[in-house]
Amino acid sequence: MRVLWLLLLPLLLFARSPLAPIPQKVPYDKELAELGKVLFFDPMLSSDRSVSCASCHKPEHGGADDKPLSIGVGGQKGDLNSPTVYNSVFNFAQFWNGRVATLQEQTLGPLHNPKEMNMSDSLLLTRLQNSPYYPKAFEEIFGSQKITIDMVTKAIAEFEKALYTPNSKFDQFLRKETTLSPKEHKGYLLFKELGCITCHNGINIGGNSFQKIGTVIPYQGPSPHDRYEVTKNPDHKGVYKVPTLRNIALTAPYFHDGSVSTLRQAIKKMSYHNLGFHLTPEEQEALVAFLHTLTGQQPAILREGK
Ligand code: HEC
Ligand code: HEC
C-alpha cells in the first residue's frame, strides 16, 4: 500500500499549495469587531439564553469546544463536532461541508439552527433593540439605532476576521526566525514525505479542499451533513472540508463526529484510512511534536481587555 501511495504522491503534490505562515497583521475594522465580540459572547443570542457563540467556540479551547458533539439550547446534542473559529477567515468555505462561502452568511446558520441557538431574526432584533446597550452601540457604528440582521452578522463576521493566531513556532520557522527541535523537524519532514501535506496545505494547513476519511481504507461511521448534502453527487458521501491543523493541539476531540480524543489517535487513523499504512510509534511521536508547533498566539482582540 505504501508503494502505491508513493507512486500516486507526485501527482497529488503537484496540486497542493505550499505551507505559508499566517500574516502577522490582518486588517479589520476595530470598532465593528469589538461590537461583534460583545455579540459573540452574549447568551441573549440564543432562545433560552443558555448559549452564546463562545459556548461552542471557546477561546481557552483553541476556538472549538471540548465535547465530541456540541451542546446547544435546552441541552440538545448537535450532529457534528464544533470546528475552531480561529483562522476561519482563511478557509475557502465555511462549515464541514462548505455550504456557505462567507463568514457573514455563516453566522445565520447557528442562530437559526433549532439544536444550536434556535433564534428567529425577529426575536433576536427585538431583544437587541430593547437592551440598554446595543441600540447606542450600533448607532455609533452604523449611524442608526434601528438594528438590522445585516448589521448583526457584519459585526460578528468582522470579529471573526480578527480571530487569527500568528507567530506559531512553525510560522517563525518558516520565516527563518527559529529552528525546530530534531523531533519536531522529523515530524515536519514526515508530514511532507508521507503525504499529509497533499490535503493539509496552504495558510491554514487545510481549509482549502474537500476530502474524506477513508480515501484509501474505508472509514465506518455516520457522516451527517457531508458534502453530498450540498452537491447530491454520490461521490461526495462522507466528504468534508479538510480541517485546518492550526492550533490542533488545543482543539480535541477530533473529526467531524468527535470520535477521537487524542492527537496521536487522530494521526493513527488518518495515516491508516487516508494513506493506507500504520505509522511506527516514533513516527507518531514526531508528527505529534510537529503538530504542537502549529499553536499560534491567542488573537490580539481576545488578549486586550474589552
Ligand atoms: C451549539 C454549539 C454552537 C454554537 C452556539 C455556535 N456554533 Fe459555530 N459551529 C458549531 C458546529 C457544530 C459547527 C459545524 C457545523 C457544520 O459544519 O454544519 C460550527 C461551525 C462554525 C463555523 C465554521 C468554521 C469552519 O471551519 O467551517 C463558524 C465560523 C462558526 N461556527 C461561528 C459561530 C458563530 C459566529 C456563532 C454564534 C452566532 C456560533 N458559531 C455558534 C457549533 C456551534
Ligand atoms: C486524502 C486527504 C488527507 C490526507 C492525506 C490526510 N488528511 Fe488529515 N484530514 C483529512 C480530512 C478530510 C479530515 C476530516 C475528516 C473528518 O472528520 O471527516 C482530516 C482530519 C485530520 C485531523 C483532525 C482535525 C480535526 O480538527 O478534527 C488531523 C489531526 C489530521 N487530519 C492530521 C493528518 C496527518 C498527520 C496526516 C498524515 C499522516 C493527514 N492528516 C493526512 C484529509 C486528509
With a CB cutoff of 8 Å and minimum separation 6, the contacts of 30 are none
Q: Band the pLDDT of 17: cuts 50, 70, 90.
A: confident
Q: How far is the CA of 170 from the centre of ligand 2 (A)?
A: 18
In this structure, the number of other CB atoms found within 10 A of the CB of residue 302 comes to 18
Ligand 1 binding pocket includes 247 (Cβ within 6 Å):
no
Ligand 2 binding pocket includes 266 (Cβ within 6 Å):
yes
The answer to whether 35 touches 155, Cβ cutoff 8 Å, is: yes
Nearest CA to ligand 1 atom 21: 95
Q: How far is the CA of 58 from the centre of ligand 2 (A)?
A: 22
**pLDDT at 89 exceeding the cut of 70:** yes
The atom of ligand 2 lying closest to the CA of 64 is: 26
Residue-wise pLDDT for 105-156, tens only, equals 999 999 999 999 999 999 999 999 999 999 999 999 999 999 999 999 999 9
b/e code 207-239 from CB counts within 10 Å (16+ = b): bbbbbbbbbbeebeeebebbbbebeeeeebebb
Structure confidence at residue 132 (pLDDT):
97
User: Quick one: cell of 161?
Assistant: 476576521
Catalytic annotation on 116?
yes
Q: Band the pLDDT of 7: cuts 50, 70, 90.
A: low
Ligand number with the minimum distance to the CA of 63: 1
Structure confidence at residue 11 (pLDDT):
54
| Lowest-confidence pick of 10-14, 69-73, 234-238 | 10-14
Task: Kindly list the distances between the CA atom of residue 228 and the CA atoms of 209, 239, 274, in Å, as whole numbers in the listed order.
Answer: 14, 7, 19
